[in-house]
A and B are shown apart, each in its own frame.
Chain A
Amino acid sequence: MGELVIRATVNGAPRRWTVAPGDLLLDVLRREGYWGVKNGCETGECGACAVLLDGEPVNSCLVFAAQADGRRIETVEGVAAGDRLDPVQEAFLDHGGVQCGYCTPAMILVTRALLARTPRPTEDEVREALSGVFCRCTGFKKPVEAVLAAAARLADARPAAPPAGRKPARKAAAR
């Protein structure tokens, strides 16, 4: 099997990887040191491996690394600015949205994708967005509160939220 050279942008930085055609994006990202991408099932069911591909949540266990060629990848490692946490991360900590933390990177990324598209989501929209990420610890009450609180914080920080173009939230990681 021949090897492929792919180029992708990860958290804003250009990356060049040599991969095998069958390599999963999940495995390549972890191999390259993006440890925040978690393996929970490898079959696209639990969402722990979710990353943003061109801004959209995907389960990285269902994506070949080669499919990321030329695309923009965001992992949890790119969310904080150095030591400064993003409001979504702050909200998850302040509202008790983190327990074991294994699904947390995926929840944070899915939240960012949701809030980029729908800055002031309803609770139902939040639940829809989070439903692709399984969590066995929290019962989801606190993660949902964290997302709503993050939305409020981000909206307060923005000069004016654009009301137009509001679409229903799409389900986060593909099931």
Chain B
Amino acid sequence: MSGASPPSPPSRRAVVGRRVRKVDGFKLVTGRTAFTDDIALPGLLVGRILASPHAHARIRDIDTRRAKALPGVHAVLTWKDVPRVPHTTAGQAWPEPSPYDTYLLDSKVRFVGDRVAAVAAETRAVAEEALRLIEVDWEVLPPVLDMEHAMDPGTAVIHDEPDATGIRDAARNLAGDIHTHIGDVEAGFRESDLILEREYRTPRQQHAMLEPHIVICWLDADNRLVIRTSTQIPFHVRRQVAMILRIPVSRIRVIKPRIGGGFGGKQEMVLEDLCAALTLASGRPVKLEYSRHEEFFMARTRHPQILRLRMGVKRDGTIVAHHMRVLAATGAYGSHCTTVQGNTGSKVLPLYRAPHLRFDCDVVYLTTPQAGAFRGYGCPQGYFAQESLVDEIAHELGMDPIAFRLKNAIRQGDVDELSAQLGEGKKGLPRTIRSCGLPECLEKGAAAIGWKEQRNGGVRRPGRLLRGVGVATTMQGSGIAGVDFAGAFLKANEDGSFNLQVGATDLGTGSDTVLAQIAAETLGVSLDKILIYSSDTDFTPFDVGAYASSTTIISGGAVKKAAEKVRDDMCCFAAQLLDAPPEDLVCRDNRVFAPGGKSVSMAEVAVHALYKEKTQVMEGASHFNTDSPPPFCATFAEVEVDTETGRVRPVHLVTAVDLGVAINPMQAEGQAEGAVAQGLGYALAEELVLDGRGRPANANFCDYKIFTAKDMPKLTTILVETEEPLGPFGAKSIAEVGINGVAPAVANAAFDATGLRFRRLPIRPDAVLAALGGRR
């Protein structure tokens, strides 16, 4: 019977759709111990990493004798001391589609910040002193810093090790490539009345979650390895660490406490392997964490890309053909390299229903910080380019940019065949659009920004401060079709409460609350009756983790199924008390009702089951989808360009988003608003800058600017609800889609204000001044 019940009408829902408080809010506002570091362990050692000072070098020899002799040092590890197991750090379902090109420690370093050695000592001061005592004999190799020349003949080969696998062409520094199409773009261009070709460049952005990566490992009383870590992917971490350290999965327990933000940066095994190795080597608990400085370049970044787009349209504005060519840099290692870039094609191009689409992409290695998963996962790059280009084409055609988008946008009932070509590193599944609120997003967003009144028209007017408005339309996915899956487990307690155990990982998004709401609604109980716990690989069911905007739809689907089974079980026991057939009973308000109105409380049913029938009501369920319903978003920006300073100041950002049904509208708005803040940084300020030797030039919050309370413009968030058949209670997703349109909407607004196109992010004052100067 699970999954078969018709959806309850929204007005009748008691918990889903309500702006309820976070279920884990109390501990967060009171500062109770919640996060990885909020624990006191006797004998805890501090781990530190010796980071490479060179972008590219071989370690001829390394001498750790003086470091090991330092009092207070308990372990010093180099490549000589650990297993050599090629792997990827990408937190992806097995078999991972990323190349196995990474080692716990290696005799070669491939970026400034790469691991050379690691130390565990009684204090941080001793650990850092030990790092200084390690002597390294370097053979410095030429750095490879320019993605446009990474594949040139004669360029130093970054991955020359023989045992890496899955690299497309290591000799050419080509980590991966993608070439796919539907239709025939060249034929399409011949049919076109107007063809525009433009190049766009996007920066290396850093996640900058407030809690840097941190892990604490220890051996428990049974000599099992416990990994307490701030991760989005506890189950992948367990599998990866077992493989890398060559110990059984059964010897590892991964505990995910509260996470202080992730944004994809923690969809990756970043420190767990090394911390675990230090614990195994020392026999002591070890804490390993990045400082903020280290976080900027030793963790992960967004992939920088150079995109060349060519689009052909008919005079009436119909898009005929679109060819997107992408060159991307994955940095030193290929974690997420083809999957992020695959998304740049598969989640961007199909937004417009052109018959001829082509996507060609090369992802190259550089001796630079490693790129990885980051909110949007390839879409912010692709949408900056695509939405800038269609804005330009609409302008050329004299069409309103909104009308142009509406004319071409994918709509309900359409099947996106490109997604079938571009799956998670392999062939995927076609995507059928079962719900689409994009027209309403555009309509409501336009009204909120004052589209008609505020449009300037791309003409530079006199005056110092110029204002304009711009728009971008975007989509994302909700989980990875056919790949992502989750389990959930529920059991009933004698007071009518239920333990909900999930492997899903709330990284600050509020998924614990959303999943508890889904369980409460399904069981007909109040939210306080759901005791959710996430996640611990010993005690919670498997879940691929929090990524790909999957938790509400995939983990939520598992929760709903498990709750339906428990509800059915409770009805069976209630039937005995109510003397009515179980299928006629209804659960609501923490009670079970018979048709005549007679009822028993959930607590009475649970007590009856436990103490009379000697049965623990408990059920588990798994869930996956074979399609990934896209949320749709229209982002509108109003900006003010200062022609004297070159500053582009955002004035008002409107996000109108079709997320399916909002399980918790307050939290959903918060996701959209946070995405705008991160998107504004991407548009206007954020870039990890490397010097000519590959060293980070701005690895701190003074020189790497993120938007603060004072910098943020007015925000308007409009939730456009649709009913998605594949989602629990009609939900799709919200976490990522909101970031995709911010940069292009800002760039298009800057054009509207000045008549100038900005095709490189971030749009900084120097570029604006230079462009304005060229027009004087």
Contact = CB atoms under 8 A, between A and B. Distances in A.
The winner among A93, A108, A137 for most chain B CB atoms within 10 A is A137
B677 A101 contact: no
Interface string B1-42: 000000000000000000101101111111111110110100
A118 interface: no
Interface residues of A, number: 53
Contact of B709 (A85, A92, A127): A127
Given A99-B509, A139-B674, A41 B701 contact: yes
A134 B25 CA distance: 19
Given A40-B211, A134-B708, A136-B674, A98 B292 contact: no
Nearest to A127: B709
Nearest to B675: A139
A103 B208 CA distance: 13
A57 interface: no
A62 interface: no
Interface in B696-730: 700-702, 706, 708-712, 715, 717
B31 A103 contact: no
A79 B210 contact: no
B670 to A, nearest CB: 5
Q: Is chain B's interface secondary structure helix, strand, loop, or mixed overall?
A: loop
Contacts of A79: 29-30
A132 to B, nearest CB: 8
A136 B678 contact: yes
Interface residues of B, number: 57
B676 interface: yes
B1 to A, nearest CB: 35
A4 B530 CA distance: 49
A64 interface: no
Nearest to A92: B29
Contacts of B508: 99-102, 137
Contacts of B210: 38, 40, 46, 48, 100, 102-103, 134-137
Given A96-B666, A136-B210, A128 B710 contact: yes
Interface stretch (A65-73, A141-149, A160-168): A141-149
A99 B208 CA distance: 15
Interface string B480-513: 0000000000000000000000000001111000
Contact of A100 (B260, B293, B667, B709): B260
B706 A136 contact: yes
Given A99-B509, A103-B210, A134-B210, A77 B30 contact: yes
B29 A98 contact: yes
A77 B670 contact: no
A96 B669 contact: yes
Nearest to B19: A96
Interface of B: 19, 21-22, 24-35, 37-38, 40, 207-212, 258-261, 263, 291-293, 507-510, 666-667, 669-670, 673-678, 700-702, 706, 708-712, 715, 717
10 contacts: A33-B40, A40-B212, A43-B292, A48-B210, A93-B22, A96-B667, A99-B261, A128-B709, A131-B708, A143-B709
